[in-house]
Amino acid sequence: MSSTLQSRWWSWGFRSAVMLYFILLIVFPILGIYGYSLSAGLAAFTENITEPLAWKAVLLTVKLAFVSTMINVLIGTMAGWVLIRYRFPGRGLLNSLVDLPFALPTAVAGLMILLLLGPQSVVGQWAEQLGFSILFHQPAIVIAMVFVTFPFVIRAVQPLLEEMDGSEEEAAYTMGATKAKTFVRVILPAMLPGIASGAMLAFSRALAEFGAVVLVAGNIPGKTLIASVYIFGEIESDNITGATAVSVVLLTFSLLILWLVNYLQSRRKGV
Amino acid sequence: MHVEVRGLTKKFGEFPAVNDVHFSIAKGQLIGLLGPSGGGKTSILRMLAGLETPDSGDIVFHGTRVNDLPPQEREIGFVFQNYALFKHMTVQGNIAFGLEVKKWPKNRIKERVAELIELTGLSGFEKRYPHQLSGGQRQRVAFARALAPEPQLLLLDEPFAAIDAKIRQELRAWLREMIDRLGITSIFVTHDQDEAIEVADEIMIINKGNLEQKGSPWDIYKNPETPFVAGFIGESTIVEDVSTLRGFEQAADWPGTKALIRPEYVEIGQANEFRLLSATETGRVRHLHFRGSEWLVEVDVGASRLVTYRSLEKEVLHPGEEIQVLVHRAYLFNDNDSWIMENRLKEDPMPVHI
Ligand SMILES: Nc1ncnc2c1ncn2[C@@H]1O[C@H](COP(=O)(O)OP(=O)(O)OP(=O)(O)O)[C@@H](O)[C@H]1O
Ligand SMILES: [Mg+2]
């Protein structure tokens, strides 16, 4: 009797501790930002967000994050496929390198891109000759975003591919399906939930990227100034409400995406 | 379709998985592939399907060599041991897949799918996904999917392996009836002797990559061509020196010869249960095992231990009891030869009146 009482106490204690931790660390700060942004009234909020530089920054961020996500969907799907389905020397090393962008400080990633694509570098000169520049322009931002969010799609697709033994494909072959048809009708649909959730996480992360982008973007307001850098600038110039207004927009995006990923995953479990 | 296989060989590295296998199957026959695990049954099936390339040998369908045809063009249906259903497609979608790939017109696909759903007893489950079905239902979807494109040859790899005994029985009968109705040549792999004996027109026994014997179930049972087949079918015991058994004294003429004796070859009972008492000898009951529908009895005769069945209707025996034993025949084999020997005293009885 006393032992069940004790274990109930323990379980209650643990649950409360986790809840408290969660509320203190995540829920309060989020509510705080929403509260702060609206504290000066809805009118002030709209004024802050309709500030041309602010909404241009948000729009640019969404656009570039979308482009980088599309690139990651293509490359990530292929990379995941190759890493699971082919055996070649160096495969294990390559597979562990995939996580590098997660482990690396994003400022280091930015520096790498800076050195790699700068005007002195081979790539930089080559682009210059073709008549466009990468560094301090939008392509550099996309490259930085692609680099930082590279692992998401791969890591979401891999377990799904591993789950599929070859027999579904073989079954399709015996029924007359070509390799291409089998890929489109059998393999791709199996990968799709992974691609979708990986893409959304990558998108959400790309929206939020600061460290890598700030070094390579140029940060010209209205042209290459992305939302996170805008927020930083607003805080530097003591306009906290301007910063929170943009933050709230980004935060809302992220929460929506998170909810969507969850929804998709729960649906997949149902299937 | 008529299937012929000549000198089929497949090595995985140095390991010979299939070794110079020859056979031919007439159109419309149902063949059971039987043999111990790792014998090469799946490998043979996969080579017939074109999913594996043979190292040498010919595979001939309808008189045409198909070795170089990809699986897509062999007109086969393959039922995988793990079903391999498309998880993201409904029952309907799974069955229609092969037809859509072959570009059948929409209305014919619809008809054909409905027909197969009817045939496999899956009505009402058309819209379900594989994970919403029971094992037996998934099995039927796998059948229906393989049958839909009207294959000439149906290959089934342990189609009943994951199904409980009762549904297995049902599916077995259903498969036999359906294959008869459609007249498709079929080959199915099984670990279960009773299953092969019950449904197959012919059985092929595969062991260590070799085709040990091919023949009707009765043929294989009565005239096993190799010691492996003799020992594999049924529950046999090996007797080192069969010449010590009454009626088999002649076996001493072939030194180094052992005997395989099946439970069905042995009869036991009290003296009054035998008509030919002179052919029997005395043994002692060692163990009794209850087998549901009969007793399995272990008897010591001289230095040999024999195993046999006894009806539940007969008088119950007890361990240690002395009884009469009649060995009807034995399957003799040595390194170069094997043959069946009948009990001499039975063939040439001395009438005894009690
Ligand atoms: N891809 C492969 N690579 C290496 N060895 C293999 C491969 N496939 C099969 N083998 C070997 O070939 C032999 C025959 O295998 P196969 O799958 O044909 O046996 P099986 O008769 O179907 O056995 P089971 O009844 O257990 O399914 C086995 O010893 C197996 O280890
Ligand atoms: Mg097998």
Ligand 1 pocket test, pick from B14, B18, B41 with the greatest ligand atom count within 8 Å of Cβ, gives: B41
Q: Is B97 in the A-facing interface, judged by CB distances under 8 Å?
A: yes
User: What is the structure's pLDDT at B229?
Assistant: 87
pLDDT for position A269: 58
Q: What is the pLDDT of residue B353?
A: 46
Residue B258 Cβ contacting ligand 1 at under 6 Å: no
Contact B101 A271 (CB under 8 A): no
- Does residue A270 surpass a pLDDT of 70? no
Per-residue burial over B44-74, b if 16 or more Cβ lie within 10 Å, else e, is: bbbbbbbbbebeebebebeeeebeeeebbeb
Q: What is the mean pLDDT of residues A227-255?
A: 89
Q: Which residue of A has its CA nearest to B132?
A: A271
For a pLDDT cut of 90, what percent of chain A falls above it? 35
Cα→Cα distances B218→A38, B197, B222, Å? 88, 8, 6
Check CB contact under 8 Å for A177 and B72: yes
Distance B51 CA to ligand 1 centre (A): 14
Q: Whose CA is nearest to atom 31 of ligand 1?
A: B38
Q: Which of A167, A176, A181 sits opposite B80 (nearest CB)?
A: A167
Per-residue pLDDT at A126: 85
pLDDT at A131 over 90: no
**Of all protein residues, whose CA lies closest to atom 26 belonging to ligand 1?**
B37
How close is the nearest chain A Cα to the Cα of B199, in Å? 25
Note the maximum CA span of chain B: 81
**Identity (one letter) of the amino acid at A179?**
K
Q: Answer yes or no: are the C-beta atoms of B261 and B239 closer than 8 Å.
A: yes
B168 CA to middle of ligand 2, Å?
Answer: 18
**Cβ separation of A172 and B97 shorter than 8 Å?**
yes
Q: Ligand 1, atom 2: nearest CA belongs to which residue?
A: B12
pLDDT tens for each residue of A31-86: 888 888 888 788 888 888 888 888 899 999 999 999 999 999 999 999 998 998 88
C-alpha to C-alpha distance for A263 and A267, rounded to whole angstroms: 6
The answer, yes or no, to whether residue A187 has pLDDT greater than 70, is yes
Q: For position B177, what pLDDT does the model report?
A: 84
What DSSP character marks residue B249? G
At residue B354, the pLDDT reads 44
* Tens-digit pLDDT profile for residues A148-169: 999 999 999 999 888 887 889 9
Q: What is the pLDDT of residues A189-227, one digit of tens each?
A: 888 889 998 999 999 999 989 988 998 888 888 888 899
State the CB neighbour count (10 A cutoff) for residue B128: 15
The alpha-carbon gap from A149 to the nearest alpha carbon of chain B, in Å, equals 28
Q: Which residues contact A222 (CB under 8 A, 6 or more apart)?
A: A52, A53, A56, A57
What pLDDT score does B187 carry?
Answer: 93
Residue in the block written with tokens 């040439």: B348
Whether A271 has a pLDDT exceeding 80, the answer reads no
pLDDT of res. B335: 77
Chain B residue numbers with beta carbons less than 8 Å from the beta carbon of A191 are none
Q: Is B40 close to ligand 1, i.e. is its CB under 6 Å away?
A: yes
Confidence of residue A16 (pLDDT cuts 50, 70, 90): very high
Angle among Cα A89, A92, A96 to the nearest 5 degrees reads 140
Q: Per the CB < 8 Å rule, is A176 touching B84?
A: no
Mean pLDDT of A260-271: 73
ipTM metric: 0.77
Atom of ligand 1 nearest to the CA of B33: 21
Between the CA of B42 and the centroid of ligand 1 the distance, in Å, is 7
Domains and CATH numbers, chain B: 3-229 (3.40.50.300), 235-353 (2.40.50.140)
Put simply, the answer to whether B80 touches A171 (Cβ < 8 Å) is yes
Which helix (H) or strand (E) segment holds residue B49: the answer is helix B41-49
Instruction: Among B80, B88, B101, select the one facing A177 at the smallest CB separation.
Output: B101
SS3 A186: helix
Atom of ligand 1 nearest to the CA of B206: 21
Mean pLDDT of chain A, nearest integer: 88
Q: Report the 3 state secondary structure along B68-114.
A: CCCHHHCCEEEECCCCCCCCCCCHHHHHHHHHHHCCCCHHHHHHHHH
- Ligand 1 centroid to B39 CA: how many Å? 7
In CATH, which of 1.20.1250.20, 3.20.20.80, 3.40.50.620, 1.10.3720.10 is domain A43-269?
1.10.3720.10
Q: What is the pLDDT of residue B348?
A: 56
DSSP assignment of B277-329 equals GGG-EEEEEEEEEE-SSEEEEEEEETTEEEEEEEETTSPPP-TT-EEEEEE-E
Looking at the complex, does the CB of residue B76 fall below 8 Å from at least one CB of chain A? Answer: yes
Q: Counting runs of H as helices and runs of E as strands, what totals does chain A give?
A: 15, 0
Q: Which ligand is nearest to the CA of B41?
A: 1
The ranges of chain B with pLDDT < 70 are 162, 347-354
Q: What is the sign of the dihedral through the CA atoms of A59, A62, A68 and A73?
A: negative
How near does any CA of chain B get to the CA of A263, in Å?
A: 17
- How far B149 CA lies from chain A's nearest CA (Å)? 7
3-state secondary structure of A91: helix
